Structure 1
Amino acid sequence: MMTGIDNPKLPYYAVIFTVLFKLLFLLTHYIQEDAFITWRVAQNLMDYGVIGFNGDIKISASTTHLYVIISYLFNLVFGKEHFIEPLLIFNSVLFTLGTLLLSHLILKNPLHKALLIFLIGILPPAIKISILGMEYGLLFFLEMAMLYYGFKNHKKWALILFPVLIILTRIDTLIFLGVVFLVDIVYSKKIRWSYILGGFIGLVSIVAFNWFYFGEIVNNTIIAKKLMYGSDYTFAQNVDYFLVNYGNFWGMLKLPDNFNPFTVVVLVFEILCFIYLVRQPEKRNYFLWMIFIFGWVKQLIFISQKSLFDWYYWVPQILLFVPGVIFILEQKTRKYLWLGLFVLFYMIPMLAFQTVHSIATGNGEWNYRRTIGLFLNHYEKDKNQWILLEPAGYVPYFSGLKTIDEVGLVDKEIQNEIKKDRQNYWINTVKKRKPKYLLSYDNLFERKDGAYYTMHYRLLKEFRVKNHLKSSNPLLEKIYILKPSGTDYNLYVRIKD
């Protein structure tokens, strides 16, 4: 039996250890707003038999169909009160299994595989993929499984099945599937018809389902975001936009400054490591080209579309960094010095940053924003009442109220108001639909339409971030104060006419 660093079971031990290590982050309660949108859609399917958000109204409020179904199953098995932790553990396991498959694609040494699994697994985007409740753990696993079983082991069933599941998870995965297709043609000099069939079935399935069930071709979330955030920019404005935002995409750390030298260092390091590796005559170059080109293409496409949401960049960030990890692991001389310096000056600071970020943001989301929803759930017993707010995650989920969100992710009617009069769509929606509750970042009585709000609404309660920066644990309190997370809100209730 092989033992020590040559033990082929090492990568599997690394999977178990990495999952257990990351489960500590569940204690931070850092869960993304959009996860609660998906979970409410899943529970709406349970309660009304309709994929929607507000009762029996059909709407593709979630960006992912497959993850909605998985969330639905977890709700059925564990119940609405207890499904979140099992689902987050499931996501973490799936992502880590994906890194195991990735290690099989690009490394041979069992110790190197184990180290890659752990080092990749504790990167900030990997932690967020695992514990924030969104569909990217599932997606990463499916993408790596397709590469491993379909393109490394040449299983035709994998070339058909996985593209279908990948597209049903997110339609923008066509970028990944397209890059893989082009790189494969260049390398293999042939067309894999099984792969084309899988992509065709997946694309037809998602388009047909959207059309026949929702009456649309692409998900409502895409339409709503394009309507709200789309804008014409000059070339100079596009350049300025890129300079302001790129640091939050390639650098893995979301920093407030426009210029982030850390991002430049990481980017140059990744490129140099990739060039060094692909110059070697290794079979793994086939997969390195796939993941590295995809990382660049995905980031550039989404930046060009003014996509500010950081979860679009998690998987590309990880895949772009893979060559750097390989380079460190495969140093021939002073390898442990290289690895030690890498861990000491990069991995530990990144892990520390993400720990602080997760604790602070978890406090702002779970301990603060969730309390708004819980207050409304207790205050308003009639769950057929409507609330107008933004965003549509925590508060609608925990309040149980029917919801109009400012962007139109969960309600199509407000999109029509945006099209008719973008400047006044908020007040027009209030006048037309008369929601019982309004949740606003500012004082509605001081707006230009303040007289209307004063006549028809009263301030029910103020919610302030500063009231949630205390803890019996002095270390936690210091973190909360160091990085306060959340937004002040005013909650208004309609006065009976």
Structure 2
Amino acid sequence: MAEIKNHRIPIYAVLATVLFKLLFLLTHYIQEDAFITWRVAQNLLDYGVIGFNGNEKISASTTHLYVFVSYLFNLIFGKENFIEPLLIFNSVLFTIGSLFLSHLLLKNAWHKAIFIFLIGILPPAIKISILGMEYGILFFLEMMLLYYGFNKGKKWAQIVLPVLIIFTRIDTVIFLGVIFIIDIFWNKKIRWPYIFGGISGVGGMLAFNCLYFGEIVNNTIVAKKLAYDKQYSLQQNFDHFLQNFGNFWGMLKLPVDFNPLTILLLIFEALCFMYLIRQKEKRNFFLWIIFVFGWVKQVVFLSQKSMFDWYYWVPQMLLFVPVLLFVIEQKQRKSLWLALLIIFYSIPMLAFQTIHCIATGNGEWNYRRTIGLFLNSYEKNKNQWVFLEPAGYVPYFSGLKTIDEVGLVDKKIQGEIRKDKKNFWINTVKNRKPKYLLSYDDLFTSENAEYLQLHYKLIKEFRVKDHLKSDNKILEKIYILKPSGSDYNLYERID
């Protein structure tokens, strides 16, 4: 009976962790790109087409599987009510994924419970759970693959899960590849079902893209590479890496180029990892997988100058796992080690993320969303076009057809970039004549001011400073401490 109760302890930890993190839903901190995926899902619902603007097919979202899941939530709960249930779903799946991970690495039920909660309140874990991105599902599938496919040896998991993982994100070939290589070295055998699953996943994804969208890789990858492509010398590449890795490798992102706290964290993570793998245990196989993956994923993405936070959430968390294991399994002065970790790391990180969520949620939900809502009420014809960047909140809440400056949701912009990258923006305005322009800049003082003044009028200014007030004085102090968002000017075509 006591053994049965002990088995339930990690389950209780899952429930407690999910309930605790649901408090963060009150911050309304939802990532901009989540609204791109959700608009694609609603486009599928309205037009029967995976796209962004009506009947035009385009892989505007980086994730096919999450588009389908979002589609189902829209279908079940309706467009007005699906967001909270979906965020709860993401949080539950992520936390179950941490349960699978605890089973792989720990034996004691109480140790598992502590692990589940402490990993669940790390900044990247909170963001994975509540920001609306696909990483809750992804983490669940990846940990499920390790648990059932490689711990339990289930062939169905080795075949099916790689397919689902790749259809969630194409860059997960890095994760699957690391597993394959370490498995070969560790077990000295080839798992043919796993190879079949990997080939099926990659082949299925490429075939789907080719047959449905007429492209090999997702449009988002092509668009970002085209828009952000810049030639660097070897020295510039090295300097760029040094300036940025500190903010993307560690969990605490500071408003400076270099974050020295990351160095200390990396050293401690590496020392804990080396300490753990000296012990001859079966779990070392999984420790090698998650630690090597964490390093490889971050190096690859930083080398490609991928500066979006979400690429690094899962690696950040997995690299920290050895620290949690080291502290939780201390045989002497365990309480002291655990107290030091909680007081000097977990609580400060949680406080930092709480402030960040409150401030950024205000800047996104209370500010940027209002721009979309204004356009929604101002323009009743939803076939009109708005030209802007980025293509998340404003298009979603305005309902207007959208041209974004990167080309994530509109391929024609990519043609303009290829023809004349320097002047693609004004060329797009002249050729396509969008009714609305939303810009960070004062367009009437730009180099194209003469044309723009002739054809457009300024109808509204949106300013971050106007959204830093609150009846709650604590919230107001947080908003002022960390103002979030950008100033915008909205223009309407007059001819």
How does the TM-score come out when normalised to structure 1?
A: 0.99
Structure 2 counterpart of 1:148? 147
Return the letter of the residue paired with 2:30.
Answer: I
Return the letter of the residue paired with 1:118.
Answer: F
Structure 1 counterpart of 2:2? 2
Shift of residue 247, structure 1, vs aligned partner: 1.6
Structure 1 counterpart of 2:170? 171
Question: Are 2:444 and 2:453, in contact at CA under 8 Å, matched by a contact in 1?
Answer: yes
**SS at 1:8's partner residue?**
helix
Question: Are 2:96 and 2:140, in contact at CA under 8 Å, matched by a contact in 1?
Answer: yes
Counting matched residue pairs gives: 495
| Alignment partners' CA distance in 1, 2:472 and 2:458 | 33
Q: Which shows bigger deviation, 226-235 or 42-51?
A: 226-235
| Alignment partners' CA distance in 1, 2:118 and 2:229 | 37
**SS at 1:322's partner residue?**
helix
Structure 1 counterpart of 2:49? 50
Q: Does 1:11 align with 2:10?
A: yes
Structure 1 counterpart of 2:306? 307
Shift of residue 14, structure 1, vs aligned partner: 0.3
Structure 2 counterpart of 1:417? 416
| Alignment partners' CA distance in 2, 1:80 and 1:149 | 35
Structure 2 counterpart of 1:69? 68
| Alignment partners' CA distance in 2, 1:326 and 1:235 | 39
Shift of residue 242, structure 1, vs aligned partner: 1.2
Structure 1 counterpart of 2:459? 460
| Alignment partners' CA distance in 1, 2:136 and 2:121 | 14
Return the letter of the residue paired with 1:415.
Answer: Q
| Alignment partners' CA distance in 1, 2:3 and 2:337 | 24
Return the letter of the residue paired with 2:49.
Answer: V
| Alignment partners' CA distance in 1, 2:237 and 2:424 | 27
Shift of residue 244, structure 1, vs aligned partner: 1.5
Structure 1 counterpart of 2:224? 225
Return the letter of the residue paired with 2:154.
Answer: K
Deviations 1:198-254 (A, max 9, x none): 011111110000000000000000000000112221121112111221122111111
Structure 1 counterpart of 2:128? 129
| Alignment partners' CA distance in 1, 2:143 and 2:420 | 45
Question: Are 1:387 and 1:435, in contact at CA under 8 Å, matched by a contact in 2?
Answer: yes
Q: Calculate percent identity across the aligned residue pairs.
A: 74
**Pairwise CA RMSD:** 0.9
Structure 1 counterpart of 2:197? 198
Deviations 1:278-333 (A, max 9, x none): 01101100000000000000000000000000100000001000000000001111
Structure 1 counterpart of 2:348? 349
Question: Are 1:427 and 1:449, in contact at CA under 8 Å, matched by a contact in 2?
Answer: yes
| Alignment partners' CA distance in 2, 1:347 and 1:3 | 30
| Alignment partners' CA distance in 1, 2:253 and 2:403 | 29
| Alignment partners' CA distance in 1, 2:204 and 2:182 | 25
| Alignment partners' CA distance in 2, 1:307 and 1:261 | 20
Structure 2 counterpart of 1:326? 325
Structure 2 counterpart of 1:285? 284
Shift of residue 259, structure 1, vs aligned partner: 2.5
Structure 1 counterpart of 2:474? 475
| Alignment partners' CA distance in 1, 2:482 and 2:234 | 35
| Alignment partners' CA distance in 2, 1:249 and 1:295 | 12
Structure 1 counterpart of 2:448? 449
Structure 1 counterpart of 2:374? 375
Deviations 1:378-433 (A, max 9, x none): 00000000000000000000000000000000000000000110110000000000
| Alignment partners' CA distance in 2, 1:101 and 1:265 | 29
| Alignment partners' CA distance in 2, 1:217 and 1:418 | 20
Return the letter of the residue paired with 1:354.
Answer: Q
| Alignment partners' CA distance in 1, 2:258 and 2:208 | 43
| Alignment partners' CA distance in 1, 2:39 and 2:253 | 28
Deviations 1:142-196 (A, max 9, x none): 0000000000000000000100000000000000000000000001100000000
**SS at 2:53's partner residue?**
coil
| Alignment partners' CA distance in 2, 1:214 and 1:257 | 40
Question: Are 1:41 and 1:62, in contact at CA under 8 Å, matched by a contact in 2?
Answer: yes
Question: Are 2:247 and 2:258, in contact at CA under 8 Å, matched by a contact in 1?
Answer: no
Return the letter of the residue paired with 2:36.
Answer: I
Structure 1 counterpart of 2:19? 20
Question: Are 2:253 and 2:259, in contact at CA under 8 Å, matched by a contact in 1?
Answer: no
Alignment of 1:77-96 (within 5 A): 77-96=76-95
Question: Are 1:248 and 1:310, in contact at CA under 8 Å, matched by a contact in 2?
Answer: no
**SS at 2:316's partner residue?**
helix
| Alignment partners' CA distance in 2, 1:487 and 1:259 | 23
Question: Are 1:441 and 1:488, in contact at CA under 8 Å, matched by a contact in 2?
Answer: yes
| Alignment partners' CA distance in 1, 2:239 and 2:330 | 39
| Alignment partners' CA distance in 1, 2:399 and 2:259 | 41
Return the letter of the residue paired with 1:89.
Answer: I
Return the letter of the residue paired with 1:63.
Answer: T
Return the letter of the residue paired with 1:284.
Answer: R
Structure 1 counterpart of 2:112? 113
Shift of residue 3, structure 1, vs aligned partner: 7.2
| Alignment partners' CA distance in 1, 2:35 and 2:349 | 27
Gaps of 5+ in 1: none
| Alignment partners' CA distance in 1, 2:212 and 2:230 | 30
| Alignment partners' CA distance in 2, 1:247 and 1:87 | 32
Structure 2 counterpart of 1:242? 241
Return the letter of the residue paired with 2:257.
Answer: N
**SS at 1:422's partner residue?**
coil
Question: Are 2:373 and 2:397, in contact at CA under 8 Å, matched by a contact in 1?
Answer: yes
Question: Are 1:52 and 1:58, in contact at CA under 8 Å, matched by a contact in 2?
Answer: yes
Return the letter of the residue paired with 1:476.
Answer: L
Question: Are 2:247 and 2:257, in contact at CA under 8 Å, matched by a contact in 1?
Answer: no
| Alignment partners' CA distance in 1, 2:257 and 2:435 | 41
| Alignment partners' CA distance in 1, 2:331 and 2:96 | 28
**SS at 1:403's partner residue?**
strand
| Alignment partners' CA distance in 1, 2:192 and 2:373 | 52
**SS at 2:471's partner residue?**
coil
| Alignment partners' CA distance in 2, 1:205 and 1:264 | 40
Shift of residue 258, structure 1, vs aligned partner: 2.1
Shift of residue 261, structure 1, vs aligned partner: 1.6
| Alignment partners' CA distance in 2, 1:258 and 1:239 | 14
**SS at 1:52's partner residue?**
coil
Change (3 A) 1:378 1:319: same
Shift of residue 345, structure 1, vs aligned partner: 0.4
Structure 2 counterpart of 1:487? 486
Alignment of 1:427-438 (within 5 A): 427-438=426-437
Structure 1 counterpart of 2:396? 397
| Alignment partners' CA distance in 1, 2:242 and 2:480 | 29
